[in-house]
Amino acid sequence: MRARDLGIIIGGLPPGPNDALTDVAGVEVGYETIVRGEDVRTGVTVILPFEGREPLFAAIHRLNGNGEMTGSHYIDEFGMLTSPIAITNTHSVGTVHEALVRYSVERGYVSGEFSSWALPVVAETWDGMLNDINGFHVKPHHVEAAIASAKSGPIDEGNVGGGTGMICHGFKGGTGTASRVVPEAAGGYTVGVLVQANHGRRERLRITGVPVGAAIGPDEVPLPGVHADGQGSIITVVATDAPLLPYQCKRLAQRAALGIGRTGGLGEDSSGDIIICFATGNRPVVVLGDPPPVDVPIRMLQNAYINPLFAAAVDATEEAIVNALLAAGTTTGYGGATAYRLPPERLAQLLR
């Protein structure tokens, strides 16, 4: 189930054909979901922003930094994304990072012709409530499987990939996605968002401004424990086909934080709320070769037309979080801990 299945319309801009990150042409998403026995509830999500090693303009925004996104210093310094993006659990970042380096080496992206190093982007949220996070269950072959499954078009949500063991606003959370298309007068560009939602307190959850979390108390839907206190994180990936420069990607990433805030996320002290935005509208940013050209032509969206993209990022982020909540199913995991889904019928009643 998704927000639009319940008639929940967020903002005035229309979605893309799949209402997903993959509505940005060329972007693919893959998952590997790991569920074993009573204690293993984890996985890996991989976003392939481009084919091969074609750098894209990109930027990162930190709402609260109690979390990790590798490769962020390179992106801050050069304003470019040069790798796939992976999202997993907190204690599997190293394994996933090594697997992405190996992926680059095996495909010849790390060579004298291109570059002699790889700095992959790997982000995390903590799934230790529902998953045996100290069991190190994510292995390199899981990353390879996620890459192999990557596709465009409609993608799964909820208890999939890195979102398998996540909790959001005291309900079962996980992976969610959405998109928006801006008017032709502003370029007709698409903005897509994917979140791994593992953040927020129950009583702060708002959907289209309605305080639904406060209305659904623990006597109606039990809380899963520590996450009731807002501990956790949210990773947000924003993509657009608009020709944005890195500073404009930064501005778009900042606006996605407003979508987190509109649903009740505060960037709590113990939360890692990190947003990465990349733009495909200047491809290729760098012409690879030996020797490279001295300069390359670059397009830029005029700032006078960027406000619709801001609205798209805010609305798509809010909807992606709601989609993660609605798509996720009740999950019992590590030590018998249970995170219950947000009941769609109850939500629809409250919104009415």
Whether 115 is a known active-site residue: answer: no
- Respond yes or no: is residue 83 known to be catalytic: no
Give the whole-angstrom CA distance, residue 223 versus residue 172.
10
At residue 199, the 3 state secondary structure works out as: strand
**Which one of the listed residues 19, 132, 273, 315 is annotated catalytic?**
273
Quote the tokens at residue 268: 């709590």
With left for phi above 0 and alpha for psi between -120 and 50, is residue 19 left, alpha or beta?
A: left
> Which residues 6+ apart lie within 8 Å of 260 measured at CB?
63, 199, 234, 236, 267, 273, 317, 321
CA dihedral in degrees (103, 106, 111, 117; nearest 10)?
30
Strands 174-181 and 190-200: what pairing?
antiparallel
- Choose, from 19, 233, 241, 315, the residue flagged as catalytic: 233
Q: Where do the DSSP E strands lie in 85-222?
A: 85-89, 121-125, 167-168, 171-172, 174-181, 190-200
Q: Nearest 5°: phi and psi at 34?
A: -115, 105
Residue tagged active-site, from 72, 92, 104, 271: 271
| Active-site residue, 273 included | yes
Bridge partners (DSSP) listed for residue 274: 62, 235
- Three-state secondary structure call for residue 239: strand
| Residues forming the active site | 233, 271, 273
